[in-house]
Structure 1
C-alpha cells in the first residue's frame, strides 16, 4: 500500500495505517492506486516526522499525562526525540496539529497538546512559583494585574 503527497510516494506500513481513521477509510485492498493526501494538511516533512513518532513507539504510543512543566519527566525519550524533530523542522506546531486532525491520529494530537500544556503548566500547589517561572520563560509578555483583568471583563461584557 502506498501514500502519495505531492510528487512523493511512500510505502505505508499497515501498522501505521491502523493508527489513522482516515487511512483506514481510504484503504482499498483491491486497489493498486496510492492514497492521495492533501498537501495543504500534510507535507513530506510533516509526514516523515509523524511516521517516525509511530515507528519510535513501536506503533503503540501511550497517552501523555502532564503533571509538571519538565518535559524530561512528562515525555518518554522517544517522544522527546520527535518533539526535537518538530522544533528543528521550523514548521509550526499548529501545522502538525492540522495534519494530525486531518489524518485522525489522536495519540499524535495528544503528544502535541501535551507539549503545549507543559509550556504553560501551572502547579496549583505552587501557583506563585509557577507564574514566576512563566514570566522568566516569556519575559516579552507583560504581566497582567488583577485590576487589568477586571477592566477586560467589564469591556468584554459589552462586546459579548
Structure 2
C-alpha cells in the first residue's frame, strides 16, 4: 500500500470510530460517559492529522497519528478496567466508595453524580464493551499509522 492509502485508512478508521460513537449516542440513545468523551478526542486529532498528512508527507505527522491512536487505545483499556472493576475509575463518573458517609453526604453525592457512569457497560458485542472495542481497533489503527511512517521514511 502507498503512504497515501495507509494514511487514508488510518484517518478514515478514526472517522468511522467517531461516526459509530455518534450513531450510538444520537441514533441508539446511549449517552456517553466522561471517559467515552475522552476516547473521542484522540480520534478527532487523528482525522485532522490524516488531512495534514495527505497534504504534507512528513514522517512526524504519521508518528503523531500513531500517538493519537495509541492514546485512545490506552484510554479504552483504562476504561475497560474500570468497567470490569479491575481498578477504580475517576470519582466523577463511578459509584465510588460510600462507606463512612452520612445520609446527607450520600444524598449530596447522588444528586451531584453524573447521569452516565463510567463503570457500567452500556453495550457489548462478543463480550467486549465499546471501550474494549475502541482499544482493540485503535491498536490496529496505530499499526497502520506506523506502516505509513515506514512508507514516508
Question: Do the two structures share a fold, i.e. TM-score over 0.5?
Answer: no
TM (norm. structure 2) is 0.28
Structure number having the greater helix percentage: 2
Query: Which has the bigger relative contact order, CA under 8 A and spacing at least 6?
Result: 2
Structure number having the greater strand percentage: 1
TM (norm. structure 1) is 0.27
